[in-house]
Structure 1
């Protein structure tokens, strides 16, 4: 049986899958020990609690939602590129670039820099499209 390993692109899929969880953690940061009556995290009604957030916590929650929204396209693009026999080095570079851009995107969301955030989002989307068509012949 041949030895199989994850490519860098597949590791990037793993990181992209963790990114929404990280954003949720940022939104909830420091609120687990605060009593619910004083605005602390409400594990009985987490979506209602998250919907009532403001400022950077609300932006972290919005970044979480966007990371979940972007995840299927990225996963599909990487898998399709692998299936089509895309050049592995190029695929790895583009997937890594996508992850870096998504990390910057989250930082711009948290920093409340919407114009820069949108530009970074567009660059990550373009990288994702490039991944999708990398194996196209």
Structure 2
């Protein structure tokens, strides 16, 4: 398996990291598990930002996975290029999450654009 394919697996689990931060920062208890989405919707501050980062991570992961798979299937890009782009994408997502949690909106948005640019780049290098 390539590094890029492992990065897809990492991207799949990043939202759950955000969920954990949201729940812990919001004082989540197991008894709250009957309505976890309601609990997450009630959060403020750090917990609310962590939940928003979770939702955005769920939104972008399919596009990243598709881009990696397309790049593999097209066969025109060097494997090292696909792997580097994948690691850069995961790095941009980690920074996105960190900036979101730290309430650094401009840097967060910059990392979102970087990540989207990296997704586009998979298609560009596959031509």
TM-score (norm 1): 0.87
- Residues 59-98 of structure 1: matches in 2 within 5 Å? 59-85=49-75, 86-98=77-89
Matches of 1:75 and 1:64 in 2, distance apart?
17
What's the CA shift for 1:32?
A: 4.2
- Map of 1:101 onto structure 2: 92
Structure 1, unpaired ranges of 5+: 1-5, 37-41
The question of whether the paired residues in 2 share the 8 Å contact of 1:108 and 1:114 is answered with yes
- Map of 2:105 onto structure 1: 114
Higher Cα radius of gyration: 1
Q: 2:41 matched to 1:51?
A: yes
Matches of 2:103 and 2:115 in 1, distance apart?
18
What's the CA shift for 1:29?
A: 1.5
- Map of 2:13 onto structure 1: 18
The question of whether the paired residues in 2 share the 8 Å contact of 1:81 and 1:133 is answered with no
Q: Deviations over 1:69-89 (max 9, x none)?
A: 000100000000000012100
Q: Which has the higher helix share?
A: 2
- Map of 1:3 onto structure 2: none
How many aligned residue pairs are there?
125
Structure 2, unpaired ranges of 5+: none
